[in-house]
Amino acid sequence: MTPETIEAYGIGLRLFRPEDAADTAAACADPQTQRFISGLPSPYTEEDARWWITEGAPAAWATGGAAYAIADRTTDRLLGGIGLSNPVPTRNQAEIGYWVAPWARGRGVATAATRALADRAFATGTVRLELLTSAENTASQRVALAAGFQHEGVRRDANPTRGGGRHDLLAWVRLAGDPAGPTRRLLPDLPDGRLTDGVVTLRPLGPDDADLMYALHTRPEVVANQAPPVPPTRAAIDRRCAVAGSAWLTGSIARLLILDTATGEPAGSCGLSYDEPAAGEGTIGYALLPAWRGREYAARAVRLMARWAFGTVGIARLAAVTLPDNTASHRVLEKAGFRREGLVRGAVPGLDGTRTDDLLFGLLPDELTD
């Protein structure tokens, strides 16, 4: 690829210039940029920016990659940076990466730049582009999806963590023959960001919900109905909440918090897993804090999830499993229209190498109750 200016999708890609040094330094010193690009110097100074402009970016071009400044087409002010790295000529493959300045975020800049550079890369012979993101960087994952990349898997311990250690990266891939995007998601966003029936509201789980989730999922009666019945560690709950957005975007599971609509107080949590996309089957689960039990909040949450699953998501069948003696959960499911379908013997792990039966419930769209 030659370093030609690219203008597409409302933005411009050009070479970095000396006058970009101050904006480059401000953008790369930003905490969000520093958090997700661990290879940047910290603190990041104008001297670092000048090195990048005079040596780092030209070196990327010299080694078969690319390094562009993303610029405002009207003012030419720097909005971010984007480039190609780790080229594998024998595979016609490269890795695409970007950063966006704080003053340009929320405007679709990264998506436009990614689409523009991907178009140029494919037009000049690249066949496969990889985009790697931290599991916690949901903004970057949304860019990948909007630009036509598909989730392909996890690169274990692929990146050094600032301060020591290593962490996984999610791999997103677009091939030359793939549509430009957006990529269809198994689990789309909720309409208006939440679901509600006026009494109960469901909203996506996030990093700030870790205290509540730990308190809920370490309660003895909740642990007793988990498989295996072992309380989660605080680290596991922190991680679950930190990557909840990523799990949703990759189509693994939609985790939600159950709220009392009138007060906004948390009542519990629930989730929808799309286990069998080819078969159109998903699975739901839920748990309530003691103060909200016996008030049909769980049944309301199940109905809200089921309507969304059958409607927007397009699931054809929902399943739920409970322990055979969890009669309270049986009542919740039956109130929502689920039917008992049978006992699955030795379905889940118990303690000390034992196995425990599960009771299977199923729901079809026309069986959902109001």
Asked whether the predicted pLDDT for residue 181 surpasses 90, the reply is no
**CA pair distance 49, 52, nearest whole angstrom:** 5
Asked whether the predicted pLDDT for residue 163 surpasses 90, the reply is no
Asked whether the predicted pLDDT for residue 3 surpasses 90, the reply is no
| Percent above pLDDT 70 for the chain | 100
**CA pair distance 149, 77, nearest whole angstrom:** 28
pLDDT, residue 197, reads: 97
Asked whether the predicted pLDDT for residue 314 surpasses 80, the reply is yes
pLDDT, residue 370, reads: 83
Asked whether the predicted pLDDT for residue 264 surpasses 80, the reply is yes
Structure-token match 């379908």, residue found: 341
The predicted model scores a pTM of 0.93
Query: Is 258 strand, coil or helix?
Result: strand
Kindly give the pairing relationship between strand 66-71 and strand 78-88.
Answer: antiparallel
pLDDT, residue 275, reads: 80
Asked whether the predicted pLDDT for residue 2 surpasses 80, the reply is no
**pLDDT tens, residue by residue, 98-119:** 999 999 999 999 999 999 999 9
Spell out the CATH class of 6-175.
alpha beta
Average pLDDT over residues 241-250: 98
Average pLDDT over residues 175-180: 94
**Mean pLDDT score across all residues of the chain:** 96
Q: Where does the pLDDT of residue 227 fall: very low under 50, low under 70, confident under 90, or very high at 90 and above?
A: confident
> Which is the CATH superfamily of the domain at 191-367?
Gcn5-related N-acetyltransferase (GNAT) (3.40.630.30)
Average pLDDT over residues 283-288: 96
Kindly give the pairing relationship between strand 200-204 and strand 253-260.
Answer: antiparallel
Asked whether the predicted pLDDT for residue 276 surpasses 90, the reply is no
Residues of the chain with CATH 3.40.630.30: 6-175, 191-367
pLDDT, residue 315, reads: 97
Q: What is the DSSP string of 146-187?
A: HTT-EEEEEEEEEEEPTTS-EEEEEEEEEETTS-SSPPPPSS
Asked whether the predicted pLDDT for residue 209 surpasses 80, the reply is yes
Candidate from 8-17, 204-213, 272-281, 304-313 with smallest mean pLDDT: 272-281
Q: Where are the beta strands (DSSP E) in 9-127?
A: 11-14, 66-71, 78-88, 93-100
pLDDT, residue 284, reads: 97
The torsion angles phi and psi of 111, rounded to 5 degrees, stand at -65, -45
